[in-house]
Amino acid sequence: MDFEYYRNNEGGSANSNRQSLLATGWRPFHRELDWEFIWQLLSNDTREFTQKSLNLASNIAEVLGRNNYTWWANFLNIVSDNTRYEVEKYWNYVTPDPLTPDHRYKDVLSTETPIVQFVSRNSIPIDYVLNRLQEITVLRVLDVLGRPDIITQYYMERDFYLPVEKFVNWERLDVVNTVYAYWSKDDIWLQIDSFDRGRRQYTLMAKNLTPLINKATYDLAIMLSGYQSRVGKVNSQFPVRSFPTDIQGFTDSVQQAILNQKQLAVLVHGEPGTGKTAWTQAVAKEILMPLGYVIFILDHDAIANFVPPTYLERICIIINEADNLAQNRASEVAQYSNKTEHILSLLDGTLYQSVIDEAGIHIQQRLVVLMTCNTTERLDPAMLRKGRVDLMCEFTQRFV
Would the pTM of this model clear 0.85, i.e. be above it?
Answer: no
State CA 167 to chain mean position distance. Answer: 22
| Whether 158 and 128 share a structural domain | yes
- Domain match, 51 and 90 both: yes
* Cα–Cα dist 226/120, whole Å: 10
Query: Is residue 185 located within the same domain as residue 264?
Result: no
Domain annotation covers residue 100: no
Please indicate, yes or no, if residue 102 is contained in any of the structural domains: no
Q: Which of 213, 228, 249 is the last residue of a domain?
A: 213
Q: For residues 383 and 389, is the Cβ–Cβ distance under 8 A?
A: yes
b/e map 56-88, b = 16+ CB within 10 Å:
beebeeebeeeeeeeeeebeebeeeeebeebee
Quick one: 233 and 206 in the same domain? no
Same domain, 311 and 286: yes
Clarify whether residues 231 and 374 are in a common domain.
yes
Closest of 259, 232, 141 to residue 190, by C-alpha: 141
Whether 380 is in a domain gets the answer yes
Residue ranges in the chain modelled with pLDDT below 50: 1-11, 329-330, 332-336, 351
174 and 244 both lie in a single domain: no
φ, ψ of residue 346 in degrees (nearest 5): -65, -40
**What's residue 5's pLDDT?**
37
Q: Same domain for 236 and 382? A: yes
Structural domain boundaries enclosing 79:
2-94
The order of strands in the sheet holding 107-113 is 27-28, 158-161, 150-155, 179-183, 188-194, 200-206, 107-113
Question: Domain boundary residue among 213, 239, 272?
Answer: 213
Q: Is residue 61 part of a domain?
A: yes
Query: Which residue among 163, 196, 213 closes a domain?
Result: 213
* Same domain membership, residue 297 and residue 173: no
Q: Is residue 327 part of a domain?
A: yes
Per the structure, how many domains does the chain have? Answer: 3
Q: Kindly state whether residue 387 falls inside one of the protein's structural domains.
A: yes
Same domain, 45 and 172: no
**For residue 334, what pLDDT is reported?**
45
Residue 90 lies in a domain: yes
Are 122 and 206 contained in the same domain? Answer: yes
pLDDT at residue 329, rounded to an integer = 47
Regarding whether 255 and 204 lie in a shared domain, the answer is no
